[in-house]
Amino acid sequence: MFSDLRDFIGHLEEEGELIRVKERLSTCHEIPAAMKFIDQKWGSAAFFEDVQGYDIPVIGNLLGNRKRLEMALSAETDLTNHYLNRTNHPIKPVILDNGPVKEVILGMSFDILKSMPVLTHHEKDAGPYLTAAVTMAKDPNTGVGGMGIHRIQIKGPNRVGILLASPPLSHFFKRFEERGKPMEVAIAIGMDPITFFSSVIWAPKGVDKFDLAGGLKGEAIELVKCESVDLEVPARADFVLEGRILPHKRAKEGPFGESTGVYLTYENPIAEIDIITHRKSPIYHALMPFTGEESVLMGVSWEAENLRAIQKKFPQVVKAHISPLDFGKIIVQIDKKSDEDPKHVIDYVLELNPRNKSAVIIDTDVDIYNPKEVTWALSNRFQPDRDVIIRRDLPGSVIDPSADERHYTSKIGFDATRPLGKKEKFEKVRIPENVWSRVRKILEGYAP
């Protein structure tokens, strides 16, 4: 298992999953452009050795494809099963006395932008943004910790703006504001890939994601106490910013080019940073929005958590998959017992998660991971006037520009399953299985 970010980077390099860029590039648009180009052309992680104005390298596209996520998780089975098995056995973190993240402590008159190479990603972005930073806080009611990736705009030497739209942090902050108190936060950048991945999983209420990260790793995550706030952070993180989000203060944050591929501006909370701690030779971790990385990071846990919830109510559901082509679309595979089943499942999943904007229900003979087959089912087993369900006025994603000002949206479901009594009419063509596997074996070594 990888103990920190540099450990994982070394592994990616050995496995041919990383490109080293030696040319000098700037933090303003150039490195983000290179991250996007490398992602589109080779799908690799990208390590920028020479960052203009800094002696700190930048890593991007870290978990940009499922293969690298499998490596990070050391998953030997299918990712959904691996995730479900491991998160069923959470492991509490351990708190160490000291760790590399404390090697350098900046307590007075620092400037965030001089301390780390924060990138400006898209043309109309308001300025530099932390995009792979994990914000950590505690529930003021229970003391249980929570974390998530939140976009963070650098607004001054020690001032930032933050989008707090998702739980658990959005809930914690509401409770702090009700008490009129600031919310202490620690913002960590650069950590082992399992903790990074776990920071955005769709965790059950009241569960600390560090416990789930421990379960996924098979061993306790090592933390250290912060210097100025009552929080714990990964002991081997590259950077940590400690500070407070101010209650009842809002300021313009954005525009920022979001993962949905549009610029979004909000009136958002602001935080003041009191201390920065970092390793002696830190690596700065960034994420390029509107590449595939968000869907890799969030897709696996969403699939698994959606499936876990759906199967409790509908045991006839076999698999769930978030479409990599459309992050708001969930595909559900069902071994239906009645022709009404898919419609009940559609109703349920569209309400289950604000981000499930559309749902497609397919039979077990359709390959859920193959977009061609899902489209085939829609063309051949679906009638628009009979098999569509539209639901209105449901909570949607805050980064969907088509939702209304409350972030409410209409949603759509497609029942692409064949009627139970007419299986033959809808039978999918196939080659005899024994012939298929024999021919595959013969041809596997061939190349054009």
Contacting residues toward ligand FMN, per CB under 6 A:
148-151, 163-168, 200, 202-203, 259, 287, 294, 297-298
Give the number of other Cβ atoms within 10 Å of residue 267's Cβ. Answer: 10
> Rounded distance, CA 69 to CA 378, Å?
30
As measured in angstroms, the least distance from the Cβ of 209 to ligand FMN is: 8
Residue 2: Cβ within 10 Å count? 21
Give the CA-trace dihedral at 209, 211, 212, 213, to 10 degrees. 90
Half-sphere exposure of 201 (CA within 13 A, CB side): 27
Q: Which residue is nearest to ligand FMN (CB)?
A: 148
CB of 289 or CB of 342, closer to ligand FMN: 289
Comparison of 149 and 194: residue with beta carbon closer to ligand FMN: 149
Least CB distance from residue 447 to ligand FMN, whole Å? 37
Amino acid (one-letter) located at 287 = L
Q: Is the peptide bond before 168 cis (omega within 30 degrees of 0)?
A: yes
Would you say 273 or 362 has its CB closer to ligand FMN? 273
Smallest separation, CB 56 to ligand FMN (Å):
21
The three-state secondary structure class of 218 is coil
Distance CA 272, CA 278 (A): 18
**Nearer of residues 122 and 151 to ligand FMN, judged by Cβ:** 151
Please, which residue, 146 or 182, has the CB nearer to ligand FMN? Answer: 146
Supply the minimum distance, in Å, between the C-beta of residue 290 and ligand FMN: 10
- d(Cα 17, Cα 115) in Å, to the nearest integer? 28
Q: How far is the CB of 207 from ligand FMN (least distance, A)?
A: 9
C-alpha dist (Å) from residue 291 to 38, 259, 297, 369, 372: 11, 7, 11, 19, 21
Q: How far is the CB of 249 from ligand FMN (least distance, A)?
A: 17
Based on CB atoms, which residue is closest to ligand FMN, 56 or 165? 165
DSSP state of 28: B
List, as own/partner pairs, every contact residues 77-86 make where C-beta atoms lie below 8 angstroms and the sequence separation is at least 24, other chains included. Answer: 79/300, 79/304, 80/300, 80/303, 80/304, 80/307, 80/319, 83/216, 83/300, 83/301, 83/304, 84/304, 84/307, 84/308, 86/215, 86/216, 86/218
Q: Please, what is the minimum distance in Å from the beta carbon of residue 239 to ligand FMN?
A: 17
Cβ distance to ligand FMN smaller for residue 149 or 160: 149
CB of 55 to ligand FMN, least distance (A): 27
Q: Please, which residue, 12 or 298, has the CB nearer to ligand FMN?
A: 298
Helices (H), 154-222: 169-178, 193-198, 209-217
Report helix, strand or coil for 64: coil
